[in-house]
């Protein structure tokens, strides 16, 4: 007679296998999309991951599902980076700069995939709801601004949604790529923060 532990092992092994397959698929998709762009087929992704096409379709029934999984993974990476960069910030401006640094670093590392996913955004938004996807990325910005308002560092009547969306649109790492290569993420983030916090008006 099998011991209880022996009976329990196969399901755990299957779960580990499923996680490993998902990891291989996402890694392969990220690499293939970066190299070949949106024309890459799901068959090529499955082949690069070393799994059957059936395995891919069981996890991601459509190409849009695969792209959405990548986008949500990127959101997770960005959230972790923001938490790390803003931890222990001395004030609202330092917290804002940490958020910008995290965004530029993560999106800069992702590179062409970021642009591809933005091109596919309409279909991806439709898959998860028109507000949810944008909110996943804009909410961290709004949260930093809201804390700054509560501290009295930012204007009390600040439109958090409007400024958050405008701010998020400003953080397109591809626009800053050449400047980041020249000056580095921290320097560019500090300059962006200065513009956001102090504006572009002449100061006495």
Full residue range of the structural domain in which residue 25 is found: 1-61
If asked whether residues 86 and 177 sit together in one domain, one would say yes
Give the total number of structural domains in the chain: 2
If asked whether residues 12 and 77 sit together in one domain, one would say no
If asked whether residues 28 and 103 sit together in one domain, one would say no
- Contact assessment for residue 47 and residue 58, using Cβ atoms and an 8 Å cutoff: no
pLDDT at residue number 132: 65
pLDDT at residue number 126: 67
CATH number of the domain enclosing 34:
1.10.10.60
Q: Find all residues with CB under 8 Å of 51, minimum gap 6, and list them.
A: 21, 24, 25
Among residues 15, 43, 61, which one ends one of the domains?
61
If asked whether residues 57 and 74 sit together in one domain, one would say no
Residues 170 and 80: their CA atoms lie apart, in Å, by 20
Picking from 85, 95, 86, the residue whose alpha carbon sits closest to that of residue 149 is 95
- Contact assessment for residue 106 and residue 77, using Cβ atoms and an 8 Å cutoff: yes
**Distance between alpha carbon 92 and the CA centroid of its chain, in Å?**
22
- Contact assessment for residue 105 and residue 177, using Cβ atoms and an 8 Å cutoff: no
If asked whether residues 52 and 106 sit together in one domain, one would say no
Please measure the distance between the N-terminal and C-terminal CA atoms of the chain and give it in whole angstroms: 86
Q: Find all residues with CB under 8 Å of 198, minimum gap 6, and list them.
A: none
Residues 65 and 41: their CA atoms lie apart, in Å, by 13
CATH number of the domain enclosing 118:
1.10.357.10
- Contact assessment for residue 156 and residue 72, using Cβ atoms and an 8 Å cutoff: no
If asked whether residues 86 and 182 sit together in one domain, one would say yes
pLDDT means per 10 residues, the chain with 204 residues, are 46 67 88 79 88 89 84 88 93 94 87 70 64 74 91 92 82 77 92 86 62
What are the structure tokens assigned to 98, written together? 């940490």
If asked whether residues 147 and 194 sit together in one domain, one would say yes
Among residues 61, 88, 107, which one ends one of the domains?
61
Among residues 15, 41, 61, which one ends one of the domains?
61
If asked whether residues 38 and 21 sit together in one domain, one would say yes
**Rg of the Cα trace of the chain?**
21
pLDDT at residue number 70: 86
If asked whether residues 86 and 181 sit together in one domain, one would say yes
Residues 145 and 147: their CA atoms lie apart, in Å, by 5
pLDDT at residue number 32: 84
- Model-level pTM? 0.77
If asked whether residues 25 and 79 sit together in one domain, one would say no
If asked whether residues 135 and 159 sit together in one domain, one would say yes
If asked whether residues 53 and 82 sit together in one domain, one would say no
């Amino acid at each position: 007679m099998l011991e209880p532990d022996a009976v329990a092992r196969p399901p755990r092994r299957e779960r580990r296998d499923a996680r490993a397959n998902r990891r291989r698929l996402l890694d392969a998709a990220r690499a293939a999309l970066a190299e070949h762009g949106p024309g890459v087929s799901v068959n090529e992704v499955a082949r690069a991951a070393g799994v059957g096409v059936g395995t891919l379709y069981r996890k991601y029934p459509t190409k849009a599902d695969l792209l959405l999984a990548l986008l949500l993974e990127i959101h997770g990476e960005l959230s972790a980076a923001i938490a790390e960069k803003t931890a222990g910030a001395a004030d609202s401006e330092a917290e804002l700069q940490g958020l910008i640094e995290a965004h530029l670093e993560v999106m800069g590392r992702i590179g062409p995939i970021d642009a591809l996913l933005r091109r596919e955004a309409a279909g991806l938004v439709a898959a998860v709801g028109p507000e949810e996807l944008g909110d996943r990325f804009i909410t961290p910005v709004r949260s930093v601004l809201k804390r700054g308002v509560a501290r009295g560092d930012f204007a009390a009547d600040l439109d958090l949604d409007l400024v958050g969306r405008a701010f998020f649109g400003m953080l397109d790492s591809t626009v800053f790529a050449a400047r980041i290569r020249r000056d580095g993420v921290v320097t560019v983030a500090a300059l962006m923060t200065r513009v956001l916090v102090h504006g572009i008006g002449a100061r006495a």
